[in-house]
Structure 1
Amino acid sequence: MNIFVAKLNFKMQDDELQALFEQFGEVSSAKIITDKMTGRSKGFGFVEMPDDNDANTAIETLNDSDVNGFRIVVKKARPQERSNNSFPRRRYDH
């Protein structure tokens, strides 16, 4: 299950996020989303856990809990929606 985690401390690293969820079971991946230009954390990330029961336990336990001074939001991630603009942009060369 893919899990969305928000309101994270901006200093938190991927390995810390992974360790937070590993107490509930196996973690396939843990990634904090960063700004492409600055490299700074955007304060949210995603955790992938292969076992749905472990993932649900993590969500129930960690949602609205205090982690590094921040009350985090943890919930099942929504599938990424495709953009309605499915046509490629035209390039006009002069």
Structure 2
Amino acid sequence: MSIYVGNLSYQVREEDLREVFAEYGTVKKVQLPTDRDTGRVRGFAFVEMQSDEEEERAIEALDGAEWMGRDLKVNKARPRPERNSQRSYSSGGGNWGNSGRNNRRY
């Protein structure tokens, strides 16, 4: 199981999260996603702890708590939906410019 932590300050660091969650048990992993273009923290994170009991304690204690000027949203992370690696393109809907008319070049 993993914990979703939302509404984070943009100044938060991985070490900050480890320190806060360590009060409730052993932190195994912290993921703090950043924006690809800016490198800025995206405002949420995922924390994995040693046991489900530790995660439950952290969720109960930290959900709604104010930290770094923000009210945290802390809950069980939902599984990531699987992405289809092959895109499906519809074959219907016309010839898309192969009809001989309106074949403009730009």
Superposition TM-score tier, normalisation by shorter sequence: 0.7 to 0.9
**Secondary structure of the residue that 1:35 maps to in structure 2?**
coil
Distance in 2 of aligned mates of 1:43 and 1:72: 10
Other-structure match for 1:17? 17
Extract unaligned runs of 5+ from structure 1.
90-94
The residue number in structure 2 matching 1:81 is 81
Counterpart residue number, 1:32:
32
Which structure 2 segments of 5+ residues have no match? 89-106
- What amino acid sits opposite 1:87 in the alignment? Q
Instruction: Provide the aligned C-alpha RMSD in A.
Output: 1.3
Q: Which has the larger radius of gyration?
A: 2
Q: Counterparts of 1:86 and 1:44 in 2: how far apart (Å)?
A: 26
Aligned to 1:92: none
Bigger RCO of structures 1 and 2 (CA < 8 A, at least 6 apart): 1
What does the per-residue CA deviation read over 1:55-91, in whole Å, with 9 as the maximum and x for residues that have no partner? 00000000000001100100000011112x34268xx
Distance between the aligned counterparts of 2:85 and 2:9, measured in 1?
35
Matched, 1:66 2:57: no
Deviation at 1:37, TM superposition (A): 1.3
In structure 1, what residue type is equivalent to 2:23? Q
User: What TM-score comes out, normalization by structure 1 length?
Assistant: 0.88
Bigger strand share: 1
The superposition leaves residues 6-44 of structure 1 with CA deviations (integer Å, 9 ceiling, x where unpaired) of 000100001101111000000001121110111101100
SS in 2 for 1:16: helix
Stretches (4+) displaced over 4 A: none
TM-score computed with the length of structure 2 as normaliser: 0.78
